[in-house]
């Protein structure tokens, strides 16, 4: 099988089978799988993703489309840097070696990629364009620098990415990681929050789950911003944001973030407050809030109620208010908010009900809308009416206004590591921040770099770091941070349209190919990569790089590939190939010691529940692997890898060879009998396989093809064979299977005497008239119970059906000479005779 696969891979390469032109009279179709990080090896999770895309690409080509199906490498990232530290070598060497190996693996799977458009994000010829784009964003005030919290390793004296923090400690030093306020670069994605949110409804070919996740991530909140005066210091106020300002008369405290500016100005730093601030400093993202117990500490400050100066509220530093959401301050209404209620119970704060509820709000917060009570001028109003009324009062008093907030924050793109795209900025003591001139791009990474594991090597590389200011020509330093790797993957799909373009994009080519018709990848990218790509596309549209507003017309999120986990007696993870099953128990192949089978989980390097692709290819071949990952489960569902499953697929492929030999030996003058049912099944299968592939029901398509295969096999085994239909049916079978298992089908197609390649052929056509049967079988019931069946011709009338079924002996037995009261017909299915 491997020889056949290598033969056809060579032919496809020599014939440039999958290279496409930007100038074609055919309609275009752009199918794209999320590009991989070059970790060194392709795993079967990748294979499933790419096999799905390959079926769609090959099928749409057969449907007459000019199909763009490219591949490239998301090549910057932390693993390369870690490998560089471990081996004291440049990450470029490790990365390019991995790319070479993975490209070879992808080709060995027979994927129909247009390799002439390959991109590599760590190539300066790629990232020079994004450096220029960043400078354009900076010129438009869409890129800026500000102080932000980062993970600081006090031993290695470096900033760590979130991925480098393991259980609160530095991945290398093991030191407890602290939070530090350092300058970071950001992109103003929040300027596009409303646009990104509104256009989600137009993404009709995206999964509802992804659209919902993006809506929640953007998190639009409509409410009010208003001010509370500090008691005994009325010149100073605390501005709060609330989505439920109508509950203002239920307020019992003001909650502020641990880093709210009022703390520096007015709060005495007691040991208790300092300890609490330190504790809170580890919570810097809203996703972390859900995991913490609500706590607070009193500041010693009070504010006065905006509508009743006799009411004073304590100001409390809380661990569930973040400075980067709203104003960094809220008013707490414990009766009608769960977080506020939890804190109020803990700190013995008052809980005042202001919305009618059939429950005890002292025990549980009532969070629904309703009718206002205990609320002065708001009494009797609905929640929505009260919200409008109270905002109007804020505006009259000049203390507040209607406002909108978003959960979405500006995108922090700074990474304090070497193996990333350099941020093209220079810091000058005289001129401040100075962009690198366009003519000096790209700013490339140095080759002579020392990886001792301490800090960012760019910080310790004087000849790279120290430059003259482009404005004043005085000594200055380069920005040593590099881009978040999501930067590269936010626009790569535009580059495939013409990967040799002298500018960031070839707009004419982008106008032809974009948007991507079907984008395929994991749902884990719903709120990061997919959102950033949408943001980039909108900005690129404004910069005249592309005409589209949205990058991906359709999105398909495939399920994960799972495998059982194994541990030895020392609790060490084992690879599946190290384990052998005996009866219902598992043992180590070499030591024969008992092995514990754990949960079936997503394949991962850490738990060693990986399947080695090359081993599987040697044993079963690429086609069998492709067939298994596509046939065993709906592609949107998780797939459990099983040896029996892939063995079954291998047997099916071998069966195709046997079928070919059997059919090839048939003589046309053999005793023949027309098999109309087989002919109908051929046309039925063509029609429904096409529909299944269009709807990504790939496992169902394969099941239908196997039904046809079984029917052809059954016909071959008869004494009287419908040779013409068998030959036609087998030809169709091979064509239908080609998108799934391209190597063996091309081989058989050639052996059948066909000159043209399958990859050049149209999808087989079906005849609608052939789908109709000459006869059909109906169930015959008496008083709703099955008594007989009868085969009718399709031309039969209803009266004839009634006459025939009433006269059937098995029916006459129950009629007992009586006339039926009523006969009910369900066309082509059931006759129900009522006695």
What does the block give as tokens for 814?
A: 């129950």
Nearest to 314 by CA among 247, 233, 256: 256
Q: Compute CA 377 distance to the chain's CA centroid, rounded to the nearest angstrom.
A: 49
Nearest to 130 by CA among 71, 138, 79: 138
CA–CA gap between residue 326 and residue 240 (Å, rounded): 8
CA–CA gap between residue 159 and residue 417 (Å, rounded): 8
CA–CA gap between residue 420 and residue 603 (Å, rounded): 27
Residue with token string 């924050």:
409
Q: Can you say whether residue 75 is alpha, beta or left, with left for phi > 0 and alpha for psi between -120 and 50 degrees? A: alpha
CA–CA gap between residue 417 and residue 421 (Å, rounded): 10
Peptide bond into 46 cis (omega under 30): no
Write the DSSP string, 472-541.
T-SEEEE---EE-THHHHTTHHHHGGGTT-SSS--HHHHHHHPSBSEEEE-GGGTTTHHHHHHHHHHHHH
What does the block give as tokens for 198?
A: 């509104």
- Render the burial of 277-293: b for 16+ CB within 10 Å, e for the rest: beebbbbbeeeeeeeee
> Parallel, antiparallel, or unpaired: how do β-strands 220-230 and 233-242 relate?
antiparallel
SS3 429: coil
Per-residue CA distances from 293 to 251, 258, 557, 743, 802 (Å): 21, 15, 34, 58, 74
Nearest to 34 by CA among 539, 558, 553: 558
Q: Is 605 annotated as a binding residue?
A: yes
SS3 399: coil
SS3 754: coil
Query: For 422, which DSSP code?
Result: B
CA–CA gap between residue 809 and residue 387 (Å, rounded): 78
CA–CA gap between residue 218 and residue 115 (Å, rounded): 36
> Parallel, antiparallel, or unpaired: how do β-strands 400-406 and 296-305 relate?
unpaired
CB 725 within 8 Å of CB 677: no
CB 546 within 8 Å of CB 501: no
Peptide bond into 721 cis (omega under 30): no
What does the block give as tokens for 572?
A: 């060490």
Neighbouring C-beta atoms of residue 136, cutoff 10 Å: 19
- Contact partners, residue 560, CB within 8 Å, separation at least 6: 45, 522, 602, 603, 638, 639
CA–CA gap between residue 633 and residue 622 (Å, rounded): 18
* Residues flagged as binding site: 605
* Residues flagged as binding site for ATP: 605
């Amino acid at each position: 099988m491997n020889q056949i696969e290598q033969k056809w891979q060579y032919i496809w390469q020599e014939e440039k089978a999958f290279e496409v032109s930007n100038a074609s009279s055919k309609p275009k179709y752009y199918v794209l799988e999320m590009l991989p990080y070059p970790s060194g090896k392709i795993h079967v999770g990748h294979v499933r993703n790419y096999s799905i895309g390959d079926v769609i690409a090959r099928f749409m080509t057969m449907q007459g489309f000019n199909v763009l199906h490219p591949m490239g490498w998301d090549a910057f990232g932390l693993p390369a840097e870690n490998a560089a530290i471990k081996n004291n070598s440049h990450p470029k060497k490790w990365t390019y070696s991995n790319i070479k190996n993975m490209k070879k693996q992808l080709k060995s799977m027979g994927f129909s990629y247009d390799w002439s458009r390959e991109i590599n994000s760590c190539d300066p010829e790629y990232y020079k364009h994004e450096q220029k784009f960043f400078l354009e964003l900076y010129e438009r005030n869409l890129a800026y620098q500000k102080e932000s919290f980062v993970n600081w390793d006090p031993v290695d004296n470096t900033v760590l990415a979130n991925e480098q923090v393991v259980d609160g400690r530095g991945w290398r030093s093991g030191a407890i990681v602290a939070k530090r306020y350092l300058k970071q670069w950001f992109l103003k994605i929040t300027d596009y929050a409303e646009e990104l949110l509104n256009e989600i409804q137009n993404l009709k070919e995206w999964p509802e789950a992804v659209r919902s996740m993006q809506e929640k991530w953007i998190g639009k909140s409509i409410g009010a911003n208003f001010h509370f005066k500090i008691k005994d210091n009325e010149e100073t106020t605390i501005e709060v944001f609330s989505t439920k300002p109508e509950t203002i008369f239920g307020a019992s405290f003001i909650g502020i973030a641990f880093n709210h500016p009022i703390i520096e100005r007015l709060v005495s730093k007691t040991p208790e407050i300092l300890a609490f601030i330190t504790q809170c400093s580890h919570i810097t993202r809203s996703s972390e809030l859900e995991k913490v117990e609500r706590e607070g500490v009193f500041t010693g400050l009070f504010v006065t109620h905006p509508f009743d100066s006799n009411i004073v509220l304590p100001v409390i530093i809380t661990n569930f208010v973040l400075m980067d959401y709203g104003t960094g301050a809220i008013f707490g209404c414990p009766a009608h908010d769960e977080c506020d209620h939890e804190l109020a119970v803990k700190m013995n704060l008052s809980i005042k009900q202001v919305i009618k509820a059939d429950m005890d709000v002292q025990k549980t917060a009532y969070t629904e809308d309703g009718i206002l009570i205990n609320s002065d001028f708001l009494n009797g109003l609905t929640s929505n009416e009260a919200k409008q009324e109270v905002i109007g009062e804020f505006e009259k008093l000049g203390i507040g206004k209607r406002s909108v907030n978003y959960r979405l924050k500006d995108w922090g793109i700074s990474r304090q590591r070497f193996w990333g795209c350099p941020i093209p900025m220079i810091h000058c003591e005289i001129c401040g921040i100075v962009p690198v001139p366009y003519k000096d791009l790209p700013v490339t990474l140095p080759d002579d770099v020392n990886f001792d594991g301490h800090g960012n090597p760019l910080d310790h590389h004087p000849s790279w770091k120290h430059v003259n200011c482009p404005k004043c020509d005085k000594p200055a330093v380069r920005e040593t941070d590099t881009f978040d790797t999501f930067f590269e993957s936010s626009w790569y799909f535009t580059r495939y349209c013409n990967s040799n373009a002298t500018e960031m994009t070839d707009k004419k080519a982008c106008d032809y190919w974009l948007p991507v018709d079907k984008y395929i990848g994991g749902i884990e990218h719903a709120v990061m990569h997919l959102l950033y790509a949408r943001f980039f596309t909108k900005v690129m549209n404004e910069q005249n790089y592309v005409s589209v507003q949205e990058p991906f017309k359709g999105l398909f999120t495939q399920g994960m590939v799972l495998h059982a986990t194994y541990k030895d007696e020392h609790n060490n993870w084992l690879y599946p190939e190290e384990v052998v099953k005996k009866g219902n128990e598992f043992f180590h192949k070499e030591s024969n010691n008992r092995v514990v089978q754990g949960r079936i989980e997503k394949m991962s390097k850490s738990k060693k529940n990986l399947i080695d692709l090359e081993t599987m290819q040697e044993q079963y071949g690429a086609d069998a692997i492709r067939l298994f990952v596509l046939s065993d489960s709906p592609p949107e569902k998780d797939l459990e890898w099983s040896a029996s499953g892939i063995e079954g697929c291998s047997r099916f492929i071998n069966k195709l060879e046997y079928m070919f030999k059997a059919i090839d030996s048939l003589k046309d003058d053999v005793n023949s009998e027309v098999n109309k049912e087989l002919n109908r099944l051929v046309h039925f299968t063509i029609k429904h396989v096409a529909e299944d592939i269009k709807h990504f029901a790939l496992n169902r398509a394969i099941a239908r093809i196997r039904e046809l295969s079984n029917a052809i096999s059954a016909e071959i085994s008869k004494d009287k064979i419908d040779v013409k239909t068998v030959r036609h049916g087998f030809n169709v079978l091979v064509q239908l299977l080609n998108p799934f298992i391209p190597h063996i089908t091309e081989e058989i197609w050639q052996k059948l005497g066909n000159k043209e390649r399958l990859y050049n052929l149209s999808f087989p056509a079906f005849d609608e008239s052939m789908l109709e049967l000459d006869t059909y079988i109906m169930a015959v019931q008496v008083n709703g119970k099955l008594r007989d069946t009868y085969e009718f011709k399709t031309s039969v009338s209803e009266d004839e059906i009634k006459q025939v079924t009433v006269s059937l002996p098995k029916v006459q037995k129950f009629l007992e000479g009586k006339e039926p009261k009523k006969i009910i017909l369900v066309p082509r299915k059931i006759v129900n005779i009522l006695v």
